[in-house]
Amino acid sequence: MKVILITGRTFMQGVGMEAGKDSDVYKENAAVCYITVDDMDKLGIKEGDNVKIKTKYGEVVVKALKSKDEHDGIVFIPLGPWANAVMGYETDSAAVPTFKGIEAEIEKTDENVLSLEELIRKTYIEG
Amino acid sequence: MHYTDVVCTFCGTLCDDIEVTVEDNRIIDIRHACRVGASKFFKASDIKHRRTKPIIRENGREIEVSLEEAVEKASEILADAYRPLLYGWSSTTCEAIKYGVFLTDLVGGIMDNTATVCHGPSVLAFQEVGYPSCTLGEVKNRADLIIYWGSNPLHAHPRHLSRYSFYPRGFFRERGMQDRELIVIDVRRTDTAKIANKFIKVEQGKDYELVSALRYVLNGGVLKKDYVAGVSREEIYELVDKMKSCSFGVLFFGMGLTQSSGKHRTIDNAISLVRDLNRFTKFNIMMMRGHYNVTGSNEVLAWETGYPYAVDFSRGYPRYNPGETSAVDVLVRGEVDAALIIASDPVSHFPKEAVKHLLRIPYISIDAFYNATSMFAKVYIPTAVAGIECEGTAYRMDGVPIRVRKIIEPPEGVLSDEEVVRMIYEKTMEKIKERIEEEAAEKVIV
Amino acid sequence: MKIILKNGYVYDPINNINGEVMDIFIKDGKIVNEFREKDAKVIDCKGKVVMPGAIDIHSHIAGGKVNTGRILRPEDHRRFVIARKFKNGKFFRSGAGFSVPSTRITGYLYAKMGYTMAFTPALPPLMARHTHEELSSIPIIDKGALTLMGNNWFVMKYLKAGEIEKCAAFAAWLLKAVKGYAIKVVNPGGGEAWGWGKNVTSLEDRVPYFDITPKEIIEGLMKVNEMLKLPHSEHLHTINLGRVGNYETTIKTMKLARGLENRDRHVLQITHAQFHSYGGESWKSFESKAYEVAKAVNKMKNVAIDVGFVTLDPTTTMTADGPMEYYLSSLTHLKWTNKDIELETAPGVTPYNYSPKSAVSSVQWAVGLELALLVEDPWRVMLTTDHPNGGPFIRYPRIIAWLMSRKYREDFMKNMNKAVEKRAIISSLDREYDLYEIAIITRASQARALGLKEKGHLGVGADADVAVYDINPEELNTAEYEKIERAFSNAYLTIKSGEIVVKEGEVVNEFYGKTYYVDVEVEEELMQEVERDLDYYFKRYYSVNLANYPVSLDYLTNPTKIERKIERVKVIK
C-alpha cells in the first residue's frame, strides 16, 4: 500500500531516549510506526504485527501500532535510526533533510525488528 | 538535602522551578518536573547504567583508558584532520560551546549544531524577514490568542502550556485559560489538538498554501475556492478574524513546519503573516526549540563568529552557507575527514547517507550518556550531566539565559563537557603550535 | 612591566595638559611618578601624540539584541572578516561583521583605534546574563552595561504611587542583581505601550494601565539617580526618536533637568542627540534642528549629550525602543525583529542603509556634525555613533577627521544629496576641533560622565590606558585629512593596563579588561519592603524564579565594583 511517511517526537520516544538509546524502552517506542485503524484493515494487519516500509532511500522493519489520531494514508514514525533508514538525505540547500512527507510502500512482514546495533551494522555499515 | 529552583535540562522550555531531594548523592524525589524531565534526572543519578570510563577503539577492540589518554587521542585526530566537523552543541552548556568555537577556529573545521536538522530553516527565514517575538512571560501576562502550528507541546514540551501559554494566570489574564483561546493547526489530531478550543487540520505538506490564504484574506483578498490545503473557506475567514481581533496573539511553531516541504519558505511566509498582523494588533511568533540549549548554541556561535550554525572556518575566518557548510551536507558529500560529536546522537538522528560517511571516518563522541554514536566512536569520553552534576548557562527557547545548577556529584573522574572540551582545545593548541614552529624551522633551513 | 613613553605631545584635558612635550611613566598598570630609565622599556614618542585611552560611553557591542542583529544579518558579516592568526606564541581568534562585529574582533578593533573602554548601553535585566556572557568574551577593553529601567513595571508602579524611595531601593537592587552600571531609560512608557502594539508620542501621554507619563518616569528616575549618588547620570533615550519634528520634545525633555545638580557631572545625558534634533512636517520637508537643540544644551549646564553621528554606511539599527524599530521597518520594508521582554522592555532590530544620495540620510549626517560644532562646551559632548545605529564604531577616526577638517566636510559633501546644503547649516560652520578638544570628547568628558576617577587621564594614579598616534601637532595640516583619519584608525601604540596591546595598528597581545558595576547599599527596612514586592511579582508574573534571576560575578571578567552606601535614602523633591 502507498502511504506518506512523517516523523516526529513522541512523549514516550522522549522518555525512551532519556532512559538510554540502548534501552528496551527506546526500541519499544522508536522502532514502531503509527497507522490508523482503517489503514490497518486495508493492510490486513493488527496492532503489534511487523511491517516493512520501503522508500527510494531504503527499507526497514518496525512494529505497527494503532494510531489514536485521524490521518488515513499517513504513517507516523518517531524520530530515530529506524525512521532514518528510510528517510531522505537531500537538504535542498536548506541544511535540513526532508523528515516529513516521504512517499513509501508499506506491507506486512514476518521479518524481525532489528535492535539498534544490528540495524546500524546491517543497513548503515554493511548496507 | 532538598533543592529548590532547580533547572530542568531536557527541552527548550527550561523549567526553573524543579524541586529535587538528594540522599547520598542519589536523587530520590523530584517535584514539578514532567515525566520526560524527571526520567532524565533519575537516569543521571542511576550510575549503574552509565559508562564512566573513557574508551578508545583500535582494530575493533575497545580499550578503557584514562581521561588524559583519551584527550591526547582526540586532539591527535583533530590536529591531523584536514577538515573536521564538530557537531552537536545543543544539549550542553554555553561554556562548553564557547571552547568548541575556539577549537573549531583553531583546527579550521566546521562547527554545526542540532538546529541544522530542526529549526535551521526557521533561522534561514529569520534572516530573510526577521522575527517579531517576545519572552514567554509576555505570553503569560498578555496573550489572549495562542496558536500552535506543527507543534505538539504536550509531547515535546510537556509543561509549555501550563507554565507559559494557555493555563497560567497572568497579569492581564487573571482567569488563566478562561481569558484565552487555544488553536492547534496540524496534519493530525495530536494530544495538544484534543485539548484546544479549535483544531484546524491542514493537509500534509500544504502549510505554505494555508499561510498564504490567511495572508491573502488578512490583506483584503477574497477567497474563491471552498477549500485551501484541506481547510474550508469559513474556517480561514474565522481564523483571520480571530487573529486580527485578539489583543495579543502568539504563534508557536515546530518541526511540522520546518521539516515539511517548503521548509524555510513556509516559515518565511508564517513570519510575514505575523508581521502583517502587527498592522492590526499585537502578534508574536516563536520557535518551539527542542534541545534545552539549542538556542544558546546559536547565540554563542553568533557572538563568537557572526553566524548561528553551520560555520566553516576552513578559510581561516568564519563563513556560513547552510546547504553547503551544514553537517548533513558535508557528511553526505563525504567532505569531512574527522569529527567530534558532543551531546548529540547523529547516528540515531541523521539520514542514513550521512551516517554512513560518519561511520567511515575517525570521530570522537563526548556525551554524558553512551548512545548509538558513542558505540562506533574511535574515542568516547563520558561527561557530567549539565544541570544535575555541573553548572553552566543555557538559553530558553525565547532567549532567556538561565544558570543551570549542580545538585549531585558526577561519577568519580568524570568531568563536565566544558572541562573536557577545554582540555582537548589546549592539547590541540600545543600540537598545532609545535607544527607551526617545525614548519617555520624548515623554512629557515631551505 | 615598566614603560616610559618619551617626548610625546601629551593631550590630557583632565589635567589641563594641552600638547606639552613630556614623558609618561607606567608601572604595574598605573601611571606613576618618574622613575629611572634603566629598568624600563623606553619608547620614543617624539613627533607623536599621546592621549589617554579612548572611551565609548554608548556602543551596542554585547547582549541579546546585538546578537539578534548578528544572526539577522549574514550579508553584513561578508563585508568584513578578520582571519585567525598566531603571533608571539598566541592564538588570535577570527571573526566577522561590519556593522555588528563578533565579540573577539570587537575588542581587537577598538584597541586598534586606541580605545580601551566601551559601555554597552541597553542591558535588559532579564537578559543580563546574556549581555555579560558577551562582554566577557570581548578581549582587551574595559566594559560595563547601562541597565534599562524606563519601562520597568516596578519603576512605573512605585513612581505612580509616589513611592520614590522604594523606586530608589528597587533600582539599587536591580543594578546589583544584574551587575549594571547606570540607569538607562529608553522611550519611557513607550516600551510598555508597545506590549499592546501602541506607543507614546508626547511627554504627557499616559501609559496604558500604569497611567503614568513619560515625563514622570524621566523625572522620577533622574531623582532616583541622584538619591542613590550613582557615578553616572540618568542616561536617556527620550521619546520620538527618529521622528520628523522631534526636536521640540528633545528640548522639553532637557528642561526636565532644571533644578537638579551634581558637583561632579551633569544630571541628564541626552543620548544619541542627533536622532532627536529633527525638524520638518514630513519626510519631504525633513530638516536639521541641531542649532535649536545645541542652543538649549548651551543653556542647560546640567545636561550633556552624546552625539550619535551618522556615518553614511549601511548598518544595523538596534534599540530597546521596539515601536521605533517597527516604524522604521515599515518605512524601509526591510526585515524586522522584535523581542518584548516581560515587565521590562521591548527591543527591536532592523537594517538601515544610510545613503549619501538620500536627502534624509545626508541631513542626518549634517545634524550630528552640527551638534558637535555648535555645542560650545566640549565637556558636555561625547563622540559616539550609537554604534551601530548611526554607523559602525570603526568609523570614529573618520568622524574625528570631519570634526578637525572643514575641507574634509566640504569634499565629502560633494557626493551627497543637495538637501544637505538646503536643509542643514553644516556648510556654513567654520569651526574645526583641535586635538585637545578631540581628547575631551573621546576621553575626558566620557570618563567624567561615567564618574570614573582613574580613567580618561594620564595623571599619577590613573589606569595606564594610553594611546599614541602618529600625528605631529607641529606639522598638522587639517586639509590633509586622510592622514588624520589614518592615524586615528591605526594607533601607533595602545597600552592597556600597562601592557602593550597594539603596535602600529596591529593587535599583538590580548587579555581581559575590567567589568564595572555598581553596588549601592540602602537602608534595610526599605529594602525589605521592596523584597516583599519582588517575591509577589516574581511568583506571579515573571517566567523565571527570583532565585534564578541575579547574575553572579562568575560572568564578569575582572569584576570592578563601584560602591555607595546610603544610610537613609533622602527624597529629592
CA distances from B383 to B35, B392, B414 (A): 23, 14, 5
- If residue C340 lies in a helix (H) or strand (E), which one and from where to where? strand C336-340
Residue B155: name the closest of B293, B4, B256, B241 by CA: B256
Calculate how close chain C gets to B257, using CA atoms only, in Å: 20
CA distance C70 to C351: 11
Asked whether residue B14 is domain-assigned, the answer is no
The 3-class secondary structure across C358-400, one letter per residue, is CHHHHHHHHHHHHHHHHCCCHHHEECCCCECCCCCHHHHHHHH
CA distance B405 to A91: 37
pLDDT at position C116 is 98
Q: Which residues of A touch B255 (CB under 8 A)?
A: 8-9, 99-100
DSSP string across C502-533? EETTEE-------EEEEEEE--HHHHHHHHHH
Q: Note the Cα C337 to chain centre separation in Å.
A: 22
* Number of residues in chain B: 446
CA distance C171 to C173: 5
Q: What is the CA radius of gyration of chain A?
A: 14
Question: B69 vs A28, which has greater pLDDT?
Answer: B69
Q: Which residues of A touch B36 (CB under 8 A)?
A: 11, 14-15, 18
* pLDDT band of C342, cuts 50, 70, 90: very high
- Asked if residue B127 and residue B90 are part of one domain, the reply reads no
Which of A:62-101 have CB within 8 Å of B?
67, 69-71, 74, 76, 79-81, 84-85, 87-89, 91-101
* Mean pLDDT in residue range C427-431: 97
Which residues contact residue C16 at a Cβ distance below 8 angstroms, ignoring those fewer than 6 apart?
A: none
Number of independent structural domains in chain B = 2
- Asked if residue B196 and residue B213 are part of one domain, the reply reads yes
* Mean pLDDT (chain C, rounded): 97
> Structural domain of residue B184, as residue ranges?
120-287
Asked if residue C532 lies in contact with residue C197, where contact means CB atoms within 8 angstroms, the answer is no
Complete domains list, chain C, with CATH? 54-450 (3.20.20)
Q: Cell for C514?
A: 575590567
Residues B167, B169, B173, B179: is their CA dihedral positive or negative?
positive
Which of B:14-33 have CB within 8 Å of C?
16-17
* pLDDT band of C572, cuts 50, 70, 90: confident
- Asked if residue B179 and residue B111 are part of one domain, the reply reads no
* Contact state of A6 with B350 under an 8 Å Cβ cutoff: no
The 3-class secondary structure across C177-194, one letter per residue, is HHCCCEEEEECCCHHHHH
Pair type for strands C493-496 and A100-108: unpaired
Residue B398: name the closest of B258, B287, B300, B250 by CA: B287
- Asked if residue B267 and residue B143 are part of one domain, the reply reads yes
* Contact state of B4 with C542 under an 8 Å Cβ cutoff: no
Residues A18, A24, A25, A29: is their CA dihedral positive or negative?
positive
* Mean pLDDT in residue range B308-337: 97
CA distance C320 to C140: 27
pLDDT at position B27 is 94
Calculate how close chain A gets to B245, using CA atoms only, in Å: 31
CA distance C179 to C318: 22
* Mean pLDDT in residue range C355-377: 98
- Where does A2-126 sit in CATH, by number? 2.40.40.20
* Number of residues in chain A: 127
**DSSP 8-state symbol, C257:** T
Model confidence at A16: pLDDT above 80:
no
* Mean pLDDT in residue range C307-317: 98
Q: What is the ipTM of this complex?
A: 0.97
Q: Final residue of a domain: which of B287, B321, B356?
A: B287
CA distances from B288 to A5, C66, C302 (A): 22, 22, 49
Model confidence at C323: pLDDT above 80:
yes
Model confidence at B128: pLDDT above 90:
yes
pLDDT at position B262 is 84
Q: Residue C134, class by beta-carbon neighbours within 10 Å (0-12 exposed, 13-18 middle, 19+ buried)?
A: buried
- Asked if residue B240 and residue B335 are part of one domain, the reply reads no
Which of B:259-288 have CB within 8 Å of C?
275, 278, 281-282, 284
Asked whether residue B394 is domain-assigned, the answer is no
Residue B324: name the closest of C74, C99, C103 by CA: C74
Q: Final residue of a domain: which of B287, B320, B349?
A: B287
Asked whether residue B19 is domain-assigned, the answer is no
For B11, nearest residue in chain A (alpha carbons): A14
Asked whether residue B12 is domain-assigned, the answer is no
DSSP string across C76-138? HHTT-EE--EEETTEEEPPEE-SSS--HHHHHHHHHHTTEEEEEEEEE-GGGHHHHHHHHTTS
* Mean pLDDT in residue range B242-255: 97
Residue C283: name the closest of C325, C315, C245, C327 by CA: C245
Asked if residue B176 lies in contact with residue B168, where contact means CB atoms within 8 angstroms, the answer is yes
CA distance C67 to C127: 12
Task: Tell me whether B247 touches chain C (CB under 8 Å).
Answer: yes
Asked if residue C433 lies in contact with residue C6, where contact means CB atoms within 8 angstroms, the answer is no
Q: Note the Cα C445 to chain centre separation in Å.
A: 12
User: Which of the residues C338, C352, C533 would you substitute to probe the B interface, choosing the one with the greatest number of B C-beta atoms within 10 Å?
Assistant: C338
- Asked if residue B194 and residue B138 are part of one domain, the reply reads yes
Which residues contact residue B137 at a Cβ distance below 8 angstroms, ignoring those fewer than 6 apart?
A: B164, C126, C341, C342, C343, C541, C542, C543, C544
Pair type for strands C2-12 and B401-404: unpaired
The CATH number of residue B209's host domain is 3.40.228.10
Q: Cell for C158?
A: 512605585
End-to-end CA distance of chain B: 67
CA distance A15 to B36: 5
* Contact state of B130 with C209 under an 8 Å Cβ cutoff: no
CA distance A10 to C201: 49
Q: Cell for B61?
A: 577492540
pLDDT at position C283 is 95
Residue C235: name the closest of C322, C122, C153, C132 by CA: C122
pLDDT tens, residue by residue, C71-127: 999 999 999 999 999 988 899 999 999 999 999 999 999 999 999 999 999 999 999
- Asked if residue B219 and residue B189 are part of one domain, the reply reads yes
- Asked if residue B67 and residue B205 are part of one domain, the reply reads no
Q: Cell for C360?
A: 534624509
Model confidence at B181: pLDDT above 70:
yes
pLDDT at position C59 is 98
- Asked if residue B144 and residue B82 are part of one domain, the reply reads no
Which of A:37-66 have CB within 8 Å of B?
57-58
Model confidence at B54: pLDDT above 90:
yes
Calculate how close chain C gets to B156, using CA atoms only, in Å: 19
Calculate how close chain B gets to C538, using CA atoms only, in Å: 10
- Asked if residue B242 and residue B383 are part of one domain, the reply reads no
Asked if residue B404 lies in contact with residue B435, where contact means CB atoms within 8 angstroms, the answer is no
Asked whether residue B238 is domain-assigned, the answer is yes
pLDDT tens, residue by residue, B387-437: 999 999 999 999 999 999 999 999 999 999 999 999 999 999 999 999 888
Q: Final residue of a domain: which of B235, B257, B287?
A: B287
Asked if residue A120 lies in contact with residue A81, where contact means CB atoms within 8 angstroms, the answer is yes
CA distance B330 to B116: 12
The CATH number of residue B339's host domain is 3.40.50.740
Beta bridge partners of C517: C561
Q: For chain B, what percent of residues have pLDDT higher than 90?
A: 89
* Mean pLDDT in residue range B134-142: 98
**DSSP 8-state symbol, A44:** T
Window from B29-38, B42-51, B326-335, B425-434 with minimum mean pLDDT: B42-51
* Mean pLDDT in residue range C441-463: 98
- If residue A63 lies in a helix (H) or strand (E), which one and from where to where? strand A58-66
Q: What backbone torsions phi and psi does residue C164 show, to the nearest 5 degrees?
A: -70, -30
pLDDT tens, residue by residue, C465-490: 999 999 999 999 999 999 999 999 99
- Asked if residue B232 and residue B337 are part of one domain, the reply reads no
Q: Cell for C67?
A: 546578537
For B43, nearest residue in chain A (alpha carbons): A19
Q: Which residues of A touch B351 (CB under 8 A)?
A: 57, 84, 87-89, 97
Which residues contact residue C524 at a Cβ distance below 8 angstroms, ignoring those fewer than 6 apart?
A: none
* Contact state of B352 with A69 under an 8 Å Cβ cutoff: no
Asked whether residue B260 is domain-assigned, the answer is yes
* Mean pLDDT in residue range A115-124: 87
- Asked if residue B235 and residue B157 are part of one domain, the reply reads yes
Long-range contacts of B198-202 (CB under 8 A, 24+ apart): B200/B231, B200/B235, B200/B239, B201/A70, B201/B230, B201/B231, B202/B229, B202/B230, B202/B231
Asked if residue B71 lies in contact with residue B431, where contact means CB atoms within 8 angstroms, the answer is no
Beta bridge partners of C515: C143, C559
CA distance A12 to A28: 9
Pick left, alpha or beta for residue B413 (phi over 0 → left; psi -120 to 50 → alpha; otherwise beta).
Answer: left
Task: Tell me whether B376 touches chain A (CB under 8 Å).
Answer: yes
Q: What backbone torsions phi and psi does residue C51 show, to the nearest 5 degrees?
A: -135, 160
Q: Note the Cα B262 to chain centre separation in Å.
A: 21
